[in-house]
Structure 1
Amino acid sequence: MARKIGLYGILAYCLYGLFFYWYLFYFADASLPFEYEGSRADPATFLNGRELMLSEEYSKIRNLLFFLSTPFEWLLYLFILLFGLSGVFKKWAEQSSTYKFVQTIIYVAWLSFIAFAATLPLSYISYSLSKTYNISTQSFSSWMKDELIDFWINFGTMAVIAAVLYWLMKKSLKRWWLYAWLLSVPFSLFIMFLQPVIIDPLYNDFYPLKNQELEEKILQLADQANIPAEHVFEVNMAEKTNALNAYVTGIGSNSRIVLWDTTLNRLDDEQILFIMAHEMAHYVEKHIYIGIAGYLLLTLIGLFLAAKIMEAVVARFGRALRIPAVHDIRSFPLFLMIISMLLFAASPFENLVSRYQETRADTYAIEMTENTDAAIATFQELTRAGRSQVNPPLLVKIFRYGHPSMLERISMLEEFEIEKRNQEKNEQSQ
């Protein structure tokens, strides 16, 4: 049975990979609909021939890596179970300590290390690809440092989750998922509160915006939107990437608006003000808190489904997977695999909600700034800097895009510009 499961797993992964290779490189059409040709959404109007070619190449390879990496994680956890490695990790943990909590930490340490080592080649390929296409400017040592920080943060989080989960399972095998969710609410909020001041600075240096004149303009914009902002933060990303970005992070008193220094270096003040208005829209429309509520709801559903699926899998395939019971720590790779699958399945819905919120933020920003030229130039520069596709294939958009495509964003701005021009004509004629 174990051999058959492993064979089917490999076969399914290969067929899945071949499908997405065929889809991305031969079937999917990322060309621009003819009605948009020559518009400012047409990449041929703001990218040269080489930039167009590099964008298409980079996007296809990057998208293929995305679709291959997540199922690879599922396959990894499956083989950890089939080969009995989960049992070996438990044995080593029990030999190392008599304390259950320490045993759990040691077990998770071994599992985390194997998963990190197995997925590192894919991470390196992604890093190397970004370097090749001049997206990343990060040195190997700096990249490796970030990978190790990721490892320790993931290990610490996973150790806490595993210790709590399996303690709850032994207390209540039927309702552990509900109690786990109740505990996840304060834990998630605590992590979100710490993110800007503890976790993010582990990767980069954050400091108040040095351009005081620009900061004053941004704060005036915030005042118009009734946002109690005192500082805008910039982060030194130029030593790592050529891409541009700005975002809102944190909750409560630790919430921040952050600009990458690459954005400051490549965009003018009017373009940056449009970006800032976009980020302020998320605050005004409470997208962060809506996102938190949605995350907690999906967590509840996910834990419930994980509990039911784990019961069914262990009852049917427990012997082949070498899992004697759901509440045994050896089932942890199965839990992680199921959660990863559920997250992947839920991503189209999450991205759909996110795209709606981003469209709302774009609308808010252009209504506040009324500078379509700056807004369109911003999106064009974002496309150039990130080697992005203006009109991505459907499956890529569904599973990867938390923002509308650049075609949709620029087209919306052009429509706003036409409506504004018509409105001004009507006012003059009256």
Structure 2
Amino acid sequence: MSARRAALIVAAVLGVALVVVVAVATPWVVLPDPPGGSTPADPGAGLPGAQIRRAEAFAAALRPASLISLVLGLGTAAALGTTRLGARLVTRAAAPFGGGWVVQVFLGVGVLSVLGRLVTLPVSAHAEVVRHRYGLSTRGWGLWLRDVSVATAISAVVTAFALWSFLWLVRRAPRTWWAWSAGVAAGFVVVGSFLYPVVFEPAFNRFEPLPAGELRTDLLALAEESGVPVRDVLVSDASRRTTALNAYVSGLGATRRIVVYDTLLEELPDEQIESIVAHELGHVVNRDVLTGTLIGALGAAAATALLGWLLSWTPLLRRVGAEGPGDPRVLPLVLFLLGGASLLATPLQNAVSRQVEARADLHALDSTRDPESFVVMQRRLATTNLSDPDPPGAWQWFFGSHPTTAQRVAFAQDWARADRP
């Protein structure tokens, strides 16, 4: 059997395994219909008409920018990855520094990352103007530019290291590199899940322990009752950037902590904060991070094996000016293929995410036994975060990672009518 055919077969097997894991691990039925059937979702979610119109206007102003940015980003990646233009950029970026393949990888990825970001930068700036206009963003332009620069730099460095290891394996094992690379790609996903809260989060926010008091005690007790050991409860200085309200649980094992936005402490009463944190603890209880990491690792491994099949196709390599899969000039093509695959997977990822988020809502309701606070909290989040309570169906299908506010309010009403232990 040829190495190319073996790569395709392994990609297919990993793809099937990915589908099976998604099908088995996703909670497709979160809450059985209560007596009398499920509650129809009110499109307005009980919000005042003025607030609904404001949220719809904000979404209408922001959605075109999101779509344009998506098209520009993918179009630039396609222009660089399917022609010799990207290969020329990689070689020319490294030429002043000797032009070695390692230099080509790191400087080439850096140039491609910066170029891709610059193409979409005007659209991102327009989106920031919209957020300022509606009071959602509190960042000055200096901080905004700093955030964009840091995010681009982190992405470029991580991508460069991943692609360097990819090309190193191609050069060390010309026939079986795709198998080794699949394992390394899966390992990157696992390591990234562990390192993200301790390496990347501090690049954008400062964290301070929540002062001792009733809320801190209640949140730690909520975690203990859920069987979730946490190291600390931290407050993020989110107000430097936004008026949005949020909380989350991040980290694995010894790095796990509850994080609440400082805006949350200023705007919501304790019982609503506890409802939000209970939702986030639900993700840990249900092992959503671990399951997501497994799914991500399988997806990365399958994609890498599929690259092993594609990058052994000589006409494709010749088209982009690369001599082989170990040639750094293949990097723009790899980035384009990975970006396209990520876009195609988005609807499925979000379909799974919406079910997972609904199950976390169920944990919050089961833990707090307070559907009224849950509903008030959801309406307050929608008001402050300017969430469209009932977005267009196609948009929600493709981009919606959470149930809509209307669906979450109806879910809480169903829970109140169900006979939950």
TM-score, scaled relative to structure 2: 0.84
- Structure 2 matches for 1:233-272, cutoff 5 A? 233-272=234-273
- Describe the shift of the 1:109–1:226 C-alpha distance in structure 2 as closer, same or farther (beyond 3 A): closer
- Describe the shift of the 1:276–1:333 C-alpha distance in structure 2 as closer, same or farther (beyond 3 A): same
Q: CA deviation at 1:43?
A: 2.9
Q: CA deviation at 1:349?
A: 1.6
- Describe the shift of the 1:80–1:408 C-alpha distance in structure 2 as closer, same or farther (beyond 3 A): same
- Structure 2 matches for 1:222-241, cutoff 5 A? 222-241=223-242
What are the Cα deviations for residues 102-143 of structure 1, in whole angstroms up to 9, with x where unaligned? 332222222222222222222212222211222111111111
Structure 1 ranges of 4+ moved more than 6 A: none
Structure 2 unaligned segments of length 5 or more: list them. Answer: 1-38
State how far apart, in whole Å, the 1-side matches of 2:184 and 2:40 are: 51
Q: CA deviation at 1:393?
A: 1.8
State how far apart, in whole Å, the 1-side matches of 2:372 and 2:298 are: 40
Residue 238 of structure 1 aligns to a residue whose secondary structure is helix
Give the match for residue 171 of structure 1. 172
- Describe the shift of the 1:80–1:136 C-alpha distance in structure 2 as closer, same or farther (beyond 3 A): same
State how far apart, in whole Å, the 2-side matches of 1:64 and 1:193 are: 35
Give the match for residue 309 of structure 2. 308
Give the count of matched residue pairs. Answer: 382
- Structure 2 matches for 1:31-46, cutoff 5 A? 41-43=42-44, 45-46=46-47
State how far apart, in whole Å, the 2-side matches of 1:99 and 1:321 are: 19
State how far apart, in whole Å, the 2-side matches of 1:410 and 1:88 are: 51
Percent pairwise identity:
25
- Describe the shift of the 1:386–1:303 C-alpha distance in structure 2 as closer, same or farther (beyond 3 A): same
Q: Which amino acid aligns with 1:123?
A: S
Give the match for residue 343 of structure 1. 342
Q: CA deviation at 1:329?
A: 1.2
Q: Which amino acid aligns with 1:287?
A: D
RMSD: 2.4
- Describe the shift of the 1:319–1:227 C-alpha distance in structure 2 as closer, same or farther (beyond 3 A): closer
Answer whether contact 1:318 1:324 (CA < 8 A) is retained: yes
Q: CA deviation at 1:271?
A: 0.6
- Structure 2 matches for 1:410-425, cutoff 5 A? 410-419=409-418
Q: CA deviation at 1:173?
A: 4.2
State how far apart, in whole Å, the 1-side matches of 2:279 and 2:230 are: 15
Give the match for residue 209 of structure 1. 210
Give the match for residue 135 of structure 1. 136
State how far apart, in whole Å, the 1-side matches of 2:406 and 2:175 are: 49
Q: Which amino acid aligns with 1:207?
A: E
Structure 1 unaligned segments of length 5 or more: list them. Answer: 1-37, 425-430
State how far apart, in whole Å, the 2-side matches of 1:142 and 1:47 are: 34
What are the Cα deviations for residues 49-76 of structure 1, in whole angstroms up to 9, with x where unaligned? 2x32221122133333333323322211
What are the Cα deviations for residues 336-378 of structure 1, in whole angstroms up to 9, with x where unaligned? 1110111111112211222111111111111121111100011
Give the match for residue 155 of structure 1. 156
Give the match for residue 69 of structure 1. 69
Give the match for residue 220 of structure 1. 221
What are the Cα deviations for residues 260-296 of structure 1, in whole angstroms up to 9, with x where unaligned? 1112211111111111111111111111111111110
Answer whether contact 1:375 1:413 (CA < 8 A) is retained: yes
Q: Which amino acid aligns with 1:354?
A: S
Deviates most, 154-163 or 176-185: 176-185
Give the match for residue 286 of structure 1. 287
- Describe the shift of the 1:47–1:210 C-alpha distance in structure 2 as closer, same or farther (beyond 3 A): farther
What are the Cα deviations for residues 140-171 of structure 1, in whole angstroms up to 9, with x where unaligned? 11111111111211121122122111222233
State how far apart, in whole Å, the 2-side matches of 1:296 and 1:39 are: 37
Does 2:327 correspond to 1:299? Answer: no
State how far apart, in whole Å, the 1-side matches of 2:381 and 2:179 are: 42
- Structure 2 matches for 1:90-109, cutoff 5 A? 90-97=91-98, 99-109=100-110
Residue 43 of structure 1 aligns to a residue whose secondary structure is coil
Give the match for residue 391 of structure 1. 390
State how far apart, in whole Å, the 1-side matches of 2:229 and 2:149 are: 36
Q: CA deviation at 1:218?
A: 1.1
Give the match for residue 47 of structure 1. 48
Deviates most, 290-299 or 230-239: 230-239
- Describe the shift of the 1:167–1:369 C-alpha distance in structure 2 as closer, same or farther (beyond 3 A): same
Q: Which has the higher contact order (CA 8 A, sep 6+)?
A: 2
Q: CA deviation at 1:39?
A: 8.8
